[in-house]
Amino acid sequence: MANSSTASVDMEDVQTVDLMSELLRRMKCASKPDKRLIFIGPPGSGKGTQSPVIKDEFCLCHLSTGDMLRAAVAVKSPLGVKAKEAMDKGELVSDDLVVGIMDEAMNRPKCQKGFILDGFPRTVTQAEKLDEMLNRRGAQIDKVLNFAIDDSVLEERITGRWIHPSSGRSYHTKFAPPKVPGVDDVTGEPLIQRKDDNADVLRSRLDAFHKQTQPKGNLVNIPAEKAPEEVMKVVKKVVST
């Protein structure tokens, strides 16, 4: 009884406008078809730009392995405790643990209509373990969207990024340059480049991505070198069909 009473108090504390907005969202989502998607692609390919839009439009939940591991560790779930033990020892979290944490995450109400798996699975072993878990649920992956882009285009995208540290405003030497090179348009303060936004770091991350990633299943290649708006049109069309 204590648990239901706590839940009731929590609901009473929620603003009416928030409750109504969530109720309307769920009513709108009720008629949406179930979708189970995987987005794969190298760093800088635009997965992160497209995922939130597709998530909202198709009423899906966005499952990123990093976010799920942090959440499981924070709530101290049995799997989260095991994951933390591995991370504290500097070990990689096992595929079985990651898939188990995904299984837990898929029970949440916001995942009722399906999910976008971001960057997982990358290997055949991970894909097999994911398939086993989904089979137990009587589900399967509908589509794998591969954000395909040439490494040289990625290098231009990433190495041209500059940011204004205090505001987070971002610029690009080619695609969105500041009015004065190296200077923030609003404050006139200097811009910086993130340590990771350089060619050497990118190449090592791309090498790891290409070695690890072995796409499988209902694979659709997305031309990720196009402008974000054009990529979005293609992604929506692929997901809708």
> What domains appear along the chain, each with residue ranges and CATH number?
32-240 (3.40.50.300)
Structural contact between residues 142 and 115, judged by C-beta atoms closer than 8 angstroms: no
Rounded Cα distance, 204 and 154, in Å? 13
Structural contact between residues 102 and 96, judged by C-beta atoms closer than 8 angstroms: no
Q: 126 to each of 120, 212, 213, how far by Cα in Å? A: 8, 11, 10
Q: What is the pLDDT of residue 217?
A: 63
**DSSP run (H or E) holding 144:** strand 143-148
Q: What is the pLDDT of residue 194?
A: 82
Strand pairing report for 161-163 and 170-172: antiparallel
- Active site residues per annotation: 47, 122, 161, 194, 205
Q: Which are the contacts of 201, defined by CB distance < 8 A and separation ≥ 6?
A: 195
Q: What is the pLDDT of residue 88?
A: 87
Q: 172 to each of 164, 178, 184, 197, how far by Cα in Å? A: 11, 8, 12, 12
- Binned average pLDDT, 10 residues per bin, the chain of 241 residues: 45 85 89 93 84 93 86 89 88 88 90 90 86 93 92 86 88 90 95 84 80 73 91 95 87
Q: 221 to each of 146, 170, 192, how far by Cα in Å? A: 5, 28, 34
